[in-house]
Amino acid sequence: MRSKASPVSDRSKGQAGWGLKSAAWFGVLYLNLPILFIILYGFTTDDASYSFPPPGLTTQWFAVTWARADFWEALWLSVQVAFASMLIAMVLGTFAAAAMYRFKFFGKEAVTLLILLPIALPGIVTGISLRSAFSLGDVPFSYFTIVLGHATFCIVVVYNNAIARLRRSSPALIEASMDLGADTFQTFRHVILPNLATALLAGGMLAFALSFDEIIVTTFTAGQQETLPIWMFGELSRPRQRPVTNVAAIFVMIITFVPILAAYYLTRDTDDVAGSGK
């Protein structure tokens, strides 16, 4: 079939052949169908196993989840952790990006690598190393150790967004500001920060989403606390009220999807502006 098709004319029309199309659709369904199943099983009447087709549909699990105090505790902890990690990442990531952009120093490449490392390393390595570091320092596991763990890789997202924006903006902007009488602090406040704003917001939202559904590093850095992903993992192994996990998953999806979408639109718009300005 493929040999009979005329690739030249197909390409000139900008249309893919049916083979490529079906492969693409297969890929899309393979990636997204399981998500639809998660949503579907949030409504099933079968509370012990995931049988298909579901024997019946109900919305009672939303009420059950709503009534579960441990769900709310886990959700609240996750939101708090994600928010704190995001704030730490935004402050430290911005400063790191500003320093990397502004100064040249010996070992700069190595430091860049160190900043990027937490996201490149498998979570389990970060988790184990943090855990041993905390126990070595006699730091009790708590909400703060989770936040510290999450901040290590959240900084990277903010840093990457900020440094990309800095590299795209003209270095003459800083000189222009100084030339017009602004000292370093005024230049940061009136020129650098406003230019970075959308990049920082986008980086912060990605950091929030990353932290919110993180489970591996959390497992190693949490004490008795259960973040939402850990709580869900525990729920899965219980025989009763399985669909509660699915309802929680729907919550997670909404909470992480919205900031990622927002981050996408924020950076997309500014890219257009930066592009048309040059």
Partner 1 sequence: MTSSSGATAVSFQNVSRHYGAVKAVDDVNFDIRDGEFFAMLGPSGSGKTTCLRLIAGFEQPTAGHVVVHGVNMNGVPPYDRDVNTVFQDYALFPHMTVLDNVAYGLMIRKVPVAQRRQQAEEMLEMVALGGFGGRKPSQLSGGQRQRVALARALVNHPKVLLLDEPLGALDLKLREQMQVELKAIQRRVGITFVYVTHDQGEALSMSDRVAVFNQGKIEQLASPIELYEKPATTFVAGFVGISNLLEGAAARAATGAEQACSIRPEKIHLERSDAAIPADAMTARGRVSSILYLGANTRYEVALEGGGELTVTLQNREAHAEPAEGETVQLWWEARHLMRFAQ
| Positions that interact with partner 1 (CB under 8 A) | 169-170, 172-173, 175-183, 186, 190-191, 194-195, 197, 273-274, 276-277
Check if the beta carbon of residue 16 is closer than 8 Å to that of residue 24. Answer: yes
Q: How far is the CB of 278 from partner 1 (least distance, A)?
A: 9
Residue 56, token pair as written in the block:
């019946």
Instruction: Encode 141-171: b = buried (16+ Cβ within 10 Å), e = exposed.
Output: beeebbbbbbbbbbbbbbbbbbbebbeebee
Q: How far is the CB of 147 from partner 1 (least distance, A)?
A: 32
Query: φ, ψ for residue 193 (rounded to 5)?
Result: -60, -50
Q: How far is the CB of 205 from partner 1 (least distance, A)?
A: 20
Distance CA 141, CA 163 (A): 33
Query: φ, ψ for residue 57 (rounded to 5)?
Result: -115, 140
Between 118 and 203, whose beta carbon lies closer to partner 1? Answer: 203
Q: How far is the CB of 106 from partner 1 (least distance, A)?
A: 16
For tokens 């559904």, name the residue.
Answer: 213
Distance CA 5, CA 21 (A): 14
Q: How far is the CB of 272 from partner 1 (least distance, A)?
A: 10
Between 7 and 171, whose beta carbon lies closer to partner 1? Answer: 171
Distance CA 58, CA 44 (A): 6
